[in-house]
Structures are given as structure tokens and as C-alpha cells.
């Protein structure tokens, strides 16, 4: 029942109602504008119940959008060596591992397609990528000239690859073996980190 606070013991679909409310609130307000309190209010539950089921807002977003990966794990894999050496290869291998599971990539593809057609979805994806992924990866670019621009360029390259390989399915890039992509793209991604870059 909406409007009632506190834990609703015995309600079989409380978790589902929270997820439905989260999708609505995230869609209307974006990732940054949505709060656990607002989502709880939309679901008619106490915010403590949202934390009980999902922990953090980020984990709630992943569950609501059915995103099958943990951004902190991805960022951790990319940042495995804090020196930045090999970041290009780690980034492309991590990307291919996440996207290589057909069942897992379906919700990500849905979010990408929505973002290409709908400004609200684009804002939601942009804010989430900025906070959950870029916000973590940026730490390895600290001290690197134009670090934020370089990090965004790396992420944009990978998003572009996702669109061409999995959405548009442009051949031969759509079916080329992963190892060929690693050999081709890893040096380019590495250049985003440590290549020469001069601004006017």
C-alpha cells in the first residue's frame, strides 16, 4: 500500500515495487537527481527497506536497469596497475569480457539504444557513466596532463566500439575475434593515457 512507511513484512513483491519505483524515478530525475528517499516514497516504503534490499543507490540502479556488471569491479580491473602501464590492454580486455556474454549485454544494449533516441535516457546514462565508472577511472589519470579529457576519450572509444560491434553490427568488426581487437585497439587506448597531446 502506497504511503505507508516501514518494513512491510510478508509482502511478497516489495522488492519488485521498489525496483519499479526506481525505474520511474531514475527515468524522471536522472541518476544524480534520484535519491533513495524519493524512490522509497514512490514505492511507499521506508528508505531503510531500500537499503536493506539493495545497499546503495548505485546497486539499486544496477538492479533496476538490469545491468549485469559491477562498475567498481570494472574500474578495479582497468586500474589494476596504478602506474598506468598496460591500461589500454586491460581496458579493452575488460570491455570484451563484459560484452562477451549475450544474455548479459542485452540490458546494456537496451540502455544504449534508448540513450541514442531519448534525451532523458541519454542524461541518465551520461550521469551514471560519469559517477560510477569515470569517477573511479579518473583517479589513475591524476597528474596526467589533460587527464579528464584523456579518460573520457578512452571511454568514448569503448562506447563507440560497443555501438559498432553490437548495435550496428558492422562487419568485419562485428565478428572479428577478441584477440584481434585487443591487438588493434589496446595501443590506441594506451595512447589516450600516455601519448603526446598538445593544445593550442
Q: Domains plus CATH for the chain?
A: 14-64 (1.10.10.60), 71-194 (1.10.357)
Highest mean pLDDT among 10-14, 20-24, 63-67 belongs to 20-24
Reported as a single tens digit per residue, the pLDDT across 141-154 is 878 888 889 988 98
User: Which pLDDT score is estimated for 68?
Assistant: 66
User: What percent of the residues of the chain are helix, what percent strand, and what percent coil, each to the nearest 5?
Assistant: 70, 0, 30
User: Which pLDDT score is estimated for 56?
Assistant: 87
Longest CA span, the chain: 64
Q: Is 65 helix (H, G, I), strand (E, B) or coil?
A: coil
Reported as a single tens digit per residue, the pLDDT across 126-137 is 777 777 777 777
Give the pLDDT band of residue 1 (cuts 50, 70, 90): very low
User: Which pLDDT score is estimated for 187?
Assistant: 95
User: Which pLDDT score is estimated for 57?
Assistant: 87
Whether the CB-CB separation of 166 and 67 falls below 8 Å is answered with no
User: Which pLDDT score is estimated for 41?
Assistant: 94
User: Which pLDDT score is estimated for 175?
Assistant: 95
> To the nearest whole number, what is the mean pLDDT of the chain?
81
Closest by CA to 101, choosing from 156, 189, 178, is 178
Reported as a single tens digit per residue, the pLDDT across 28-40 is 787 788 899 999 9
For 180, other C-beta atoms within 10 Å of its C-beta total 11
Handedness of CA 109, 149, 28, 62 (dihedral sign): positive
Average pLDDT over residues 71-81: 69
Look up residue 196 and give its DSSP letter.
Answer: -
Radius of gyration of the chain from Cα atoms? 19
Query: Which residues, in sequence order, are CB contacts of 180 under 8 Å at separation 6+?
Result: none
CA 180 to chain centre: 25
Amino acid at each position: 500500500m502506497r504511503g505507508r512507511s516501514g518494513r512491510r513484512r510478508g509482502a511478497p513483491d516489495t522488492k519488485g515495487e521498489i525496483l519499479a519505483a526506481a525505474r520511474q524515478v531514475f527515468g524522471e530525475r536522472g541518476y544524480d537527481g534520484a535519491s533513495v528517499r524519493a524512490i522509497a516514497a514512490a514505492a511507499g516504503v521506508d528508505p531503510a527497506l531500500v537499503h536493506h534490499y539493495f545497499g546503495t543507490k548505485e546497486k539499486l540502479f544496477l538492479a533496476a536497469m538490469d545491468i549485469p556488471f559491477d562498475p567498481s569491479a570494472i574500474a578495479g580491473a582497468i586500474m589494476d596497475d596504478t602506474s598506468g602501464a598496460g591500461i589500454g590492454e586491460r581496458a579493452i580486455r575488460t570491455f570484451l569480457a563484459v560484452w562477451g556474454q549475450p544474455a548479459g549485454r542485452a540490458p546494456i544494449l537496451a540502455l544504449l539504444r534508448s540513450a541514442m533516441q531519448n534525451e532523458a535516457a541519454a542524461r541518465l546514462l551520461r550521469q551514471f557513466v560519469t559517477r560510477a565508472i569515470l569517477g573511479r577511472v579518473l583517479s589513475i589519470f591524476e597528474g596526467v596532463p589533460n587527464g579528464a579529457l584523456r579518460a573520457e576519450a578512452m571511454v568514448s572509444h569503448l562506447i563507440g566500439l560497443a555501438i559498432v560491434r553490437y548495435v550496428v553490427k558492422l562487419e568485419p568488426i562485428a565478428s572479428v575475434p577478441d584477440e584481434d581487437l585487443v591487438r588493434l585497439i589496446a595501443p590506441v587506448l594506451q595512447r589516450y593515457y600516455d601519448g603526446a597531446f598538445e593544445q593550442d
